[in-house]
Amino acid sequence: MADYISAMPIQPPAIARVVVNLSLDREFDYRIPERLRGQVHAGTRVVVPFGHSERVAYVVGLAADSTVHGLKEILRLENEKERIPEKLITLAQWMADYYCCPRELAVRAMLPAVVRKGTMKAKQQTQVVLKPEQHLGEVVPALEKKAKKQAAVVHALVRLGGRCELRRLLREADAAEAAVDALVEKGIALLEREDVDRDPFAADTVLPSSALELTPEQKAALESVTAAMQAREPKTFLLHGVTGSGKTEVYLQAIDHGLKAGLDAIVLVPEIALTPQTTERFRSRFGETVSVLHSGLSDGERFDEWRRINEGRSRVVVGARSALFAPVRRLGLIIVDEEHETTYKQDEAPRYNARDVAVVRAQMEKAVVILGTATPSLESAHNCKVGKYVLLTLPKRVDNQVMPVMQVVDMRQEAMERGQPQIFSRTLELLIRERLERGEQVIIFLNRRGYASQMLCTKCGYVAKCPDCDTAYTYHKQAAQLVCHLCGRVLPAPAACPACQDPKIRYAGLGTEKVEAVCRKLFPRAAVARMDSDTMTTRDCYRKALNEFRAGRTNILIGTQMIAKGLHFPNVTLVGVIYADSSLHLPDFRAGERTFQLLVQVAGRAGRGDVPGHVVVQTYTPFHPVLQHALLQEYAPFMEEELETRRALSFPPSTHMVLLLFRGPKDDALYAAAKEFAEKVRPLLGPETFMVEPGPAPIPKARGLYRYQISMRGGNIVKLTRLLRPLVGNANAALRPKEMEVTVDVDPYSLM
């Protein structure tokens, strides 16, 4: 049979398998009409008849035959230039299977929305070209007599090499468009339209940088990476190095090695770290061949950056999560910086983790992955232990600077001695005064915005709660508002208790706004600034605030995790953590890991110059093992202990987890649906999978919808999602009329 087929003239396949741009989670077969044979590939976008209308569809595969009779034909191709590379279709298929999400959503994730929509056009410019074969010796003197402006245009064109963009030419010649029109009319010049890129970097210039002489540790790390790249061995390296240990320099040199060997690179950084500072380091090393992809670009810029990559005109892509799907030609290296960051996980379908999918994409394309971090995720640490990843370490800071001194302050004792709970301990207050006197800078960290986390009536016990989310409102004093941090509902803050009219309303709990107010009182002469999502509403605000701080015009910077990461301020010598407990006692098995990471990251902000840093951690549980490890910055013992605990309780990373979330407006009906689902799944699960029966989610209600969850862990994840896929599909089909919904989250990061 096989011989017979190969002996036949090769016929392009006649059937295309497509997913339609609708939430159907199904593939459909269409016949490829004769005139389009050979032009349709996996990744091509086509228009197909669907029901009574036409739909855009993505081809996911080709076949010679179909089992379906009476197939309809593909109508036409859609924006051929912007097709999805075939290898990304394969990746999307993998994502749909692994993350148990509708196929068309996974496929669509491969193209930026602006490319997908297909309405964006390349920006065009008009070029004015001097026609060749002219006797300018005769033309110009004639023009000079009768039409001075036209002559000036010709002179300018000659000077600029016979070709120039219209606007610029008019400036150079100090002429109006009419002069050019006249020259075109006379057959002296002609106009050409040309595609040009919208350049997100047009405004700034970057000084070139060259490779630094590496330290022995950096050199060893780089050599492992480049050896794998050279052999096209799809290895994953975990590059564990404290902040300032020179990880970025290793990235840069690995990319350079790849470029010289014809290999392209993708660099993922958390969205928040996509500052001009970060992208500049890549541009100053590689110049024009760097593309950036992030949410701060205009649609036009994003469209052009994508096209530049797609056409092979840029070969290094720096971007947030979705830049992983950049259509680079010959992928040699993927870098995931700050791999432990939770922002790599998308919180809507497809709920993928870019770090993990990076490893899969690299396997498919024989590329190498570097996961870089100062605080590896337990997942990556586990993968090193079992031999899936290779660990590389950079144990010291490049400048040999000593690590900051960490000190714990017991806030229980502080409260006892001073009669009531405090925001600033005497230790922290004293140290801040010292820094202010010396002209050094201070960072104060608290992971909660707003003024107070509760409005509480001390007389009747009333707590103001959002009716849609059943959660206490956060009080924002400056705006005099109560804000629900779950759904964003805002209302004016009452002056008296709405229940008993008592005017003595108390605000309990703590947020950055209150820390700022107290700080201004304690240090009236200091310049204090606050950075959290309330004050930093635009990218520009953020840049300005950072510039002020960098320039030394701000003495004390207060903020949420927004300031915990990746920023370099050599004059910061003190970091205060107001309340380390806030993240430690969350109902999440990763609470300890997150707190450890946060403390180490925050500590990394102190003492980067020639003065060693000091970190003060205020807490009500000073002997908590996580704090103890963080204090000594002992990653390995922390990880060993934590891995052991997770293993004992069979939590990730020793197992995989799948979380099903049911949401709906009717409490009882929703619970019943969740229970029914559990009944259906239970008999299908093997003994290796453990299911937690349906129960209210830690956030039991949000935006007016009740929330129940079922979690499962253990066993083979692909087997589990294959089994869940039809059940979830059916449940949603049955639930939708009642406005309920079940979503699946594989390897979830948020358990709320």
Answer yes or no whether residue 215 interacts with ligand ADP by CB under 6 A.
yes
Q: Which does 126 bind (CB under 5 to 8 A by kind): Zn ion, ligand ADP, none?
A: none
Q: Which CB, 368 or 493, lies closer to Zn ion?
A: 493
Supply the minimum distance, in Å, between the C-beta of residue 576 and ligand ADP. 22
Name the residue type at position 77.
Answer: L
Supply the minimum distance, in Å, between the C-beta of residue 338 and ligand ADP. 10
Answer yes or no whether residue 212 interacts with ligand ADP by CB under 6 A.
yes
Q: Which CB, 116 or 240, lies closer to ligand ADP?
A: 240
Q: Do 397 and 249 meet the contact criterion of CB atoms below 8 Å apart?
A: no
Q: Which CB, 120 or 464, lies closer to Zn ion?
A: 464
Q: Which stretch binds ligand ADP (CB under 6 A): 214-222, 417-425, 527-535, 623-631?
A: 214-222
Q: Which CB, 245 or 383, lies closer to ligand ADP?
A: 245
Q: Which does 176 bind (CB under 5 to 8 A by kind): ligand ADP, Zn ion, none?
A: none
How many residues interact with Zn ion (rule CB under 5 A)?
Answer: 7
**How would DSSP label each residue in 212-273?**
PPPPHHHHHHHHHHHHHHHTT---EEEEEE-TTSSHHHHHHHHHHHHHHTT-EEEEE--GGG
Q: Which CB, 40 or 398, lies closer to ligand ADP?
A: 398
β-bridge partners, 407: 616
Q: Which CB, 116 or 340, lies closer to ligand ADP?
A: 340
Q: What phi and psi values does residue 83 have, to the nearest 5 degrees?
A: -85, 160
Distance in angstroms (rounded) separating the CA atoms of residues 677 and 12: 45
- Residue 50 Cα to chain centre, angstroms: 35
Q: Which CB, 18 or 394, lies closer to ligand ADP?
A: 394
Supply the minimum distance, in Å, between the C-beta of residue 247 and ligand ADP. 3
Q: Do 442 and 574 meet the contact criterion of CB atoms below 8 Å apart?
A: yes
Report the residue from 466, 493, 584, 617 that binds Zn ion according to the rule CB under 5 A: 466
Answer yes or no whether residue 398 interacts with ligand ADP by CB under 6 A.
yes
β-bridge partners, 194: 125
Answer yes or no whether residue 472 interacts with Zn ion by CB under 5 A.
no
Angle of helix 177-185 relative to helix 148-159, nearest 10 degrees?
A: 90
- Vertex 403, ends 399 and 408: CA angle to 5°? 160
Q: Which stretch binds ligand ADP (CB under 6 A): 180-188, 221-229, 241-249, 700-708?
A: 241-249
Q: Which CB, 214 or 734, lies closer to ligand ADP?
A: 214
Answer yes or no whether residue 253 interacts with ligand ADP by CB under 6 A.
no
Distance in angstroms (rounded) separating the CA atoms of residues 398 and 243: 9
Q: Which does 212 bind (CB under 5 to 8 A by kind): ligand ADP, Zn ion, none?
A: ligand ADP
In this structure, the chain runs to a length of 752
Supply the minimum distance, in Å, between the C-beta of residue 609 and ligand ADP. 12
Answer yes or no whether residue 593 interacts with ligand ADP by CB under 6 A.
no
- Residue 492 Cα to chain centre, angstroms: 34
Answer yes or no whether residue 218 interacts with ligand ADP by CB under 6 A.
yes
Q: What phi and psi values does residue 15 have, to the nearest 5 degrees?
A: -120, 135
Q: Do 558 and 531 meet the contact criterion of CB atoms below 8 Å apart?
A: yes
Q: Which CB, 358 or 702, lies closer to Zn ion?
A: 702
| 473-512: contacts with Zn ion (CB under 5 A) | 484, 486-487, 489
Q: Which does 718 bind (CB under 5 to 8 A by kind): ligand ADP, Zn ion, none?
A: none
Supply the minimum distance, in Å, between the C-beta of residue 212 and ligand ADP. 4
| Strand 53-63 versus strand 123-130 pairing type | unpaired
DSSP annotation of 331 reads E
Q: Which CB, 32 or 398, lies closer to ligand ADP?
A: 398
Q: Which does 469 bind (CB under 5 to 8 A by kind): ligand ADP, Zn ion, none?
A: Zn ion
Answer yes or no whether residue 47 interacts with ligand ADP by CB under 6 A.
no
**How would DSSP label each residue in 671-697?**
HHHHHHHHHHHGGGS-TT-EEEEEEEE
Q: CA nearest 635: which of 394, 371, 402, 433? A: 394
Q: Which stretch binds ligand ADP (CB under 6 A): 30-38, 244-252, 474-482, 525-533?
A: 244-252
Supply the minimum distance, in Å, between the C-beta of residue 258 and ligand ADP. 18
Q: According to the 3-state scheme, what is the secondary structure of 617-665?
A: EEECCCCCHHHHHHHHCCHHHHHHHHHHHHHHCCCCCCCCEEEEEEEEC
Q: Which does 509 bind (CB under 5 to 8 A by kind): Zn ion, ligand ADP, none?
A: none
Q: Which does 215 bind (CB under 5 to 8 A by kind): Zn ion, ligand ADP, none?
A: ligand ADP
- Vertex 115, ends 114 and 117: CA angle to 5°? 70
Please name the residues in contact with 161: beta carbons below 8 A apart, sequence gap of 6 or more.
Answer: none
Q: Do 441 and 576 meet the contact criterion of CB atoms below 8 Å apart?
A: no
Q: Which does 264 bind (CB under 5 to 8 A by kind): ligand ADP, Zn ion, none?
A: none
| Contacts to Zn ion by CB under 5 A | 466, 468-469, 484, 486-487, 489
Binding site for ligand ADP (CB under 6 A): 212-215, 218, 241, 243-249, 398
